[in-house]
Amino acid sequence: MSPELVIWLAYLALILGVIALVLEALVFPGFGVAGIVGIILVGWGVLLLAVDITQATVALVVALIATIVIFIVGLQLMSRLKLWNRLALQNKQDNKEGYVAPAPEMSLFVGKVGTALTPLRPAGTAEVAGQRLDVVTEGEFIHSGMQIKVIKVEGTRIVVKEIAAAK
């Protein structure tokens, strides 16, 4: 290969590597194929531009150390200038704000009988085992005061059906 071709190939590898890294950072989420390809192309471009393997290795090690130092300094600056608070979501899901995890004892209601306190169209309130619960039907309308039975619990969703009245 001619030296001119190697130089152009090195520049092409560097440019494509940087483009792949920018795409990884701004377009594609996570660390994936574009990031790995970008790192490989940039490293290959640096190796092709080097006069000998020793110079290329030294250049890669210096670039790696400089990257680590810049990363650490950047983290310290972000914490001092409170930049991280602008970039990261600070909301928390507390019980005080109404966020509640599904209670494991909800599954104990399966098979229990209760009364619809409000019309269920298909959601409403029912009393089951002495507790007021938010319940849903599988799509049917149930009048207030009708007898219902809990048929399944999915997380915090309690599904009920009407019990046919004995004639």
Domains and CATH numbers, the chain: 3-87 (no CATH), 103-162 (2.40.50.140)
Query: What angle do the packed helices 53-80 and 33-49 form, to 10 degrees?
Result: 130
pTM, 2 dp: 0.42
pLDDT value at position 70?
87
pLDDT value at position 167?
44
Show the beta-strand stretches assigned E in the chain.
Answer: 113-116, 123-128, 131-136, 147-154, 157-162
pLDDT value at position 166?
47
pLDDT value at position 64?
79
pLDDT value at position 109?
92
| 8 Å CB contact between 137 and 150 | no
pLDDT value at position 113?
95
Torsion angle in degrees (nearest 10) through CA of 145, 150, 152, 157: 50
Which of 2-6, 80-84, 100-104 has maximum average pLDDT? 2-6
pLDDT value at position 147?
95
Show the beta-strand stretches assigned E in 53-146.
Answer: 113-116, 123-128, 131-136
| Average predicted confidence (pLDDT) for the chain | 85
Sign for the pseudo-dihedral over CA of 75, 76, 80, 81: negative
Kindly report, residue by residue over 108-135, the tens digit of the pLDDT. Answer: 899 999 999 999 999 999 999 999 999 9
In angstroms, rounded to a whole number, what is the distance separating the alpha carbons of residues 72 and 63?
14
In angstroms, rounded to a whole number, what is the distance separating the alpha carbons of residues 57 and 35?
21
Kindly report, residue by residue over 7-37, the tens digit of the pLDDT. Answer: 889 889 989 988 988 888 778 877 788 889 9
In angstroms, rounded to a whole number, what is the distance separating the alpha carbons of residues 66 and 70?
6
